[in-house]
Structure 1
Amino acid sequence: MALLEVSDLRTSFYTRGGVVRAVDGVSFTLDKGETLGIVGESGSGKSVTCYSLMKLIPEPPGRIESGTAFFDGRDLLRMSARELRKVRGNRISMIFQDPMTSLNPYLRISTQLVEALRIHRDIDKKAALNKAIAALEEVGIPGASSRVHQYPHEFSGGMRQRVMIAMALITEPDLLIADEPTTALDVTVQAQILDIIKERQERLGTAVILVTHDLGVVAGTCDKVNVMYGGKLMESGTAEQVFYEPMHPYTRALQKTIPSLQTKGAELYTIPGLPPDVSKPIHGCAFFPRCPYPKVAKPEGDRPQLVDNGDGHCFADCRFCDSTAPIESVLPKHDPGNLETLRGEGAA
């Protein structure tokens, strides 16, 4: 049985400007010890998917409309607040995207690190403090024994990000949700953090959901990849399937935007147009206005659903564009060898 099984998750925000369908029918599974990467442009629904699993969507204006999220056999979306408090920060931890607003400015770092241990573990205050110091040292904070008693404003943005990572890992969770965990870190520290997470996986069997814009990190660390656009999955499969044999033009377009895979001296490729406005009804394929394929029909009816390629590699099969056209003539396909280059960058 999968550690996490999400089915038909739908989350909307009811605003004055309309109903924003941020997550619209997302399904995926994650086994113990696996890493799932979720990629896509800003506003595609990546972070809202993760917040929905933790039931951290502000209500109102947000609302989890439907779906299930079975974690170790229990539906997270049907748990009471009391039941969730036993899971969040204990069996499921999250590294939030913005450390500037995720740490309490009125409390010392030691208080915030020790809190989860004291709530979820049978441990005395001194032992919890020692573990907090060790956690800070593990994420590369120098002088951790003295800095643990400082306030968040005494840390730089990158240091606060490391504190958030230490806070998420300190209880040794079964599932770690990392929402762009290395955004504020330089590449050297980024590699160290990813190595720490990988070591935890190997030692404890921790499953990881990694939300990121960095396709190099995804290629180097993830077992499976979900590509999101306009609140839906455009493609899903193993990292090898998605990077070696991308089926959806949006996935191809994302890969082509990676600077390191482009010809030196050439103009950097950008996907034309803008992501869809999910507060308005989307007819047909959401990527239709930006799709490089030749158009053969007007985008009408429901949005395309995921179809299985036969080996677990799924993609949204669109009938509004000429999928028989050679994709290489529209959007050049990458040499598979470039995946190894990309993986090297992600681990650098």
Structure 2
Amino acid sequence: MLLDVKNLTTRFHTRNGIVHAVEDVSFSVDKGQTLGIVGESGSGKSVTCYSLLGLIPMPPGRIVRGTAMFDGTDLLSAPEKQLRKIRGKRISMIFQDPMTSLNPYMRISDQLTEPLEIHENVRGKAALTRAIDALAEVGIPEPEKRIHSFPHEFSGGMRQRVMIAMALITRPELLICDEPTTALDVTVQKQVLDLIKARQRDFGTAVIFITHDLAVVSEVCDHINVMYAGRIVESATRGQLFSNPLHAYTRSLLKSIPAAQPKGIPLITIPGLPPNLANPPTGCAFQPRNLIGRPDLCLTDHSPQLAEISPGHFAQQCPGCLA
């Protein structure tokens, strides 16, 4: 097991109260495996992974409890000096918006060679050669010329490729992708996904793929965690989840995909908004929006717990959402 997360709980102490962003989240990732984390905005997907890398601002954020064992090291309790040796070298991240992640005042060459200088002590011409090769591997034409450009001189798709090159240049064991294809058109999106899969195949890299796009998940992920209101509501292999979704939220998400429904059938839309996590509900968080199950049977006095319904297939034990 490369990464094993147990009971991760992250909260933010704000003026409006304590935001329960992530509650008792557990999952694991093996070498070479792709884990998908899906859900609406605000469900806790990104905060989960930012917590693992120590990237949430503290304060106001605080990791209340949990462990995240990465090759024998607990990422949640490791000192910052030790975490810096892992972050960017053994674990890399592709952020959602490359324009805000890349430094607009620095040339691409300086930003690409920085991880090599910090983690591998590779400098000068050797580092520049590695950076040019990294750009070539992600499909940027004439990389020896483009290497000295600034981020604004690249298109959105090309900037995303630069971010991928930067994340992969140290050949990490775990790659976290935070919605890397959200702002890209369909053609570039497929190229980016193919690129990530190729690098995973060549180097055995484990991938955590954060997205709200179930179509992307169906193409790239081996195992899928569905998150809602800071908790995992369903966890299963790709085949199990798409052939036999159990939780009402998962079924609602699948029914809202236009390509998955017969022509002429009205699309299912999930009404309302996710709950305010500064004042989380005491019972089933999805009950007010549950149109597919039996909302009258949803738990009201305590939060449903994740349980194994069938071998390898977990879902929250809420009678109304499983109905």
Class of the TM-score when normalised by the shorter of the 2 chains: over 0.9
Report if aligned partners of 1:118, 1:125 keep a CA contact under 8 Å in 2.
Answer: no
Partner of 1:309: 309
Runs of at least 5 residues in structure 2 that lack an aligned partner in the other structure: none
Partner of 1:156: 155
Partner secondary structure for residue 188 of structure 2: helix
Report if aligned partners of 1:161, 1:184 keep a CA contact under 8 Å in 2.
Answer: no
**Within 5 Å, which residues of 2 pair with 1:314-329?**
314-319=314-319, 321=320, 323-324=322-323
Partner secondary structure for residue 77 of structure 1: coil
Range moving further from structure 2, 285-294 or 195-204: 195-204
- Distance change (3 Å), C-alpha of 1:127 and 1:228: same
**Within 5 Å, which residues of 2 pair with 1:127-206?**
127-206=126-205
- Over the residues paired in the alignment, what is the CA RMSD in angstroms? 1.5
Q: How many Å separate the matches in 2 of 1:138 and 1:187?
A: 20
- Distance change (3 Å), C-alpha of 1:111 and 1:322: closer
Q: How many Å separate the matches in 2 of 1:88 and 1:261?
A: 38
TM-score normalised to the size of structure 2? 0.95
Partner of 2:118: 119
Partner of 2:30: 31
Partner of 1:83: 82
- Distance change (3 Å), C-alpha of 1:144 and 1:289: same
Shift of 1:313: 0.5
Is residue 257 from structure 1 mapped to residue 263 from structure 2 by the alignment?
no
Q: How many Å separate the matches in 1 of 2:98 and 2:281?
A: 34
**Within 5 Å, which residues of 2 pair with 1:213-232?**
213-232=212-231
Q: Amino acid of the residue matched to residue 173 of structure 2?
A: D
Q: Percent identity?
A: 61
Q: Amino acid of the residue matched to residue 308 of structure 2?
A: D
Q: Amino acid of the residue matched to residue 170 of structure 2?
A: T
Q: How many Å separate the matches in 2 of 1:184 and 1:300?
A: 38
Q: How many Å separate the matches in 2 of 1:117 and 1:246?
A: 44
Report if aligned partners of 2:113, 2:123 keep a CA contact under 8 Å in 1.
Answer: no
Partner of 2:61: 62
Range moving further from structure 2, 157-166 or 290-299: 290-299
Q: Amino acid of the residue matched to residue 294 of structure 2?
A: P
- Distance change (3 Å), C-alpha of 1:265 and 1:300: closer
Shift of 1:45: 0.4
Range moving further from structure 2, 81-90 or 122-131: 122-131
- Distance change (3 Å), C-alpha of 1:288 and 1:54: same
Q: How many Å separate the matches in 2 of 1:79 and 1:322?
A: 38
Partner of 1:212: 211
- Distance change (3 Å), C-alpha of 1:322 and 1:95: closer
Shift of 1:78: 0.9
Shift of 1:150: 1.2
Shift of 1:114: 0.3
Partner secondary structure for residue 89 of structure 2: coil
Report if aligned partners of 2:247, 2:321 keep a CA contact under 8 Å in 1.
Answer: no
Partner secondary structure for residue 307 of structure 1: strand
Report if aligned partners of 2:307, 2:315 keep a CA contact under 8 Å in 1.
Answer: yes
Partner secondary structure for residue 11 of structure 2: strand
Q: How many Å separate the matches in 2 of 1:203 and 1:297?
A: 49
Offset from partner CA, 1:152-199 (integer Å, 9 cap, x none): 122222222121111101111000000011122222222222222222
- Pairs aligned (count): 322
- Distance change (3 Å), C-alpha of 1:60 and 1:233: same
Shift of 1:134: 1.7
- Distance change (3 Å), C-alpha of 1:158 and 1:200: closer
- Distance change (3 Å), C-alpha of 1:298 and 1:273: same
**Within 5 Å, which residues of 2 pair with 1:289-304?**
289-292=288-291, 293-297=293-297, 299-304=299-304
Q: Amino acid of the residue matched to residue 302 of structure 1?
A: H
Offset from partner CA, 1:95-143 (integer Å, 9 cap, x none): 0111121111221110000010122124342121112112112222222
Range moving further from structure 2, 180-189 or 15-24: 180-189
Q: Amino acid of the residue matched to residue 130 of structure 1?
A: T
Offset from partner CA, 1:10-46 (integer Å, 9 cap, x none): 1111111111111011000111100000000110000
Range moving further from structure 2, 281-290 or 259-268: 259-268
Q: How many Å separate the matches in 2 of 1:122 and 1:298?
A: 56
Q: Amino acid of the residue matched to residue 300 of structure 2?
A: E
Report if aligned partners of 1:296, 1:322 keep a CA contact under 8 Å in 2.
Answer: no
Report if aligned partners of 1:11, 1:62 keep a CA contact under 8 Å in 2.
Answer: yes
**Within 5 Å, which residues of 2 pair with 1:282-293?**
282-292=281-291, 293=293
TM-score normalised to the size of structure 1? 0.89
Report if aligned partners of 1:308, 1:315 keep a CA contact under 8 Å in 2.
Answer: yes
Structure 1: 4+ residue segments shifted above 4 A? none
Runs of at least 5 residues in structure 1 that lack an aligned partner in the other structure: 325-348
